[in-house]
Amino acid sequence: MRSIKVLTVCLGNICRSPAAQGILEYAAASRKGIDLQLDSAGTAAYHIGSKPDPRSIAALKKRSIDIGYQQARQVNNDDFAYFDWILAMDESNYQHLIAMCPEPYKNKILLFGSLPNSPSLGEVNDPYYDGEKSFEVMVDHLMALSDNFLAFLDSSSK
């Protein structure tokens, strides 16, 4: 079984991308034949070294997913060569990644909610400035996106 390296990316790496990493780890663990190596990062340097937002941690803990061990970091140039897939949470971060990515690696960058040959599930809204309910909505959305991504990987490997 081949290991697939995936980086999830949002703006500050404390809400959406660490949640996406945790959900993908959880979802992939229950699927045979998929070995994911996951990490998350932000396009901005706002929260380097910080733990995920406590509201993200709490929303995922309700689903038995622990992301409290993660630490925020910023995307770096080595990520583009290292990871097989780089999943942007929204169009703004997608465009930022495309702009900073060396040409040979641009095909690795995908908008998480708009995978090739898959139904579009839209952008992941940033819940940072909203209430706790927004984090629950984010988790539900990320769970659907993660299932969609794992199905995409299954179909890509055939």
The pLDDT tens digits of the residues spanning 68-107 come to 999 999 999 999 999 999 999 999 999 999 999 999 999 9
Mean pLDDT of 32-42: 92
Cβ–Cβ under 8 Å, residues 49 and 55: no
150 and 20 in contact (C-beta within 8 Å)? no
CA separation for the pair 79, 71 (Å, rounded): 16
What is the percent of the chain where pLDDT is above 90?
88
Are residues 39 and 87 in contact, defined by beta-carbon separation less than 8 angstroms? no
pTM of the model: 0.96
**Superfamily designation of domain 3-156:** Response regulator (3.40.50.2300)
What residue spans define the domains of the chain? 3-156
Residue 49 falls in which region: left (phi positive, over 0), alpha (psi -120 to 50) or beta: left
Catalytic residues: 10, 16, 126
Contact predicate 84/152, CB 8 Å: no
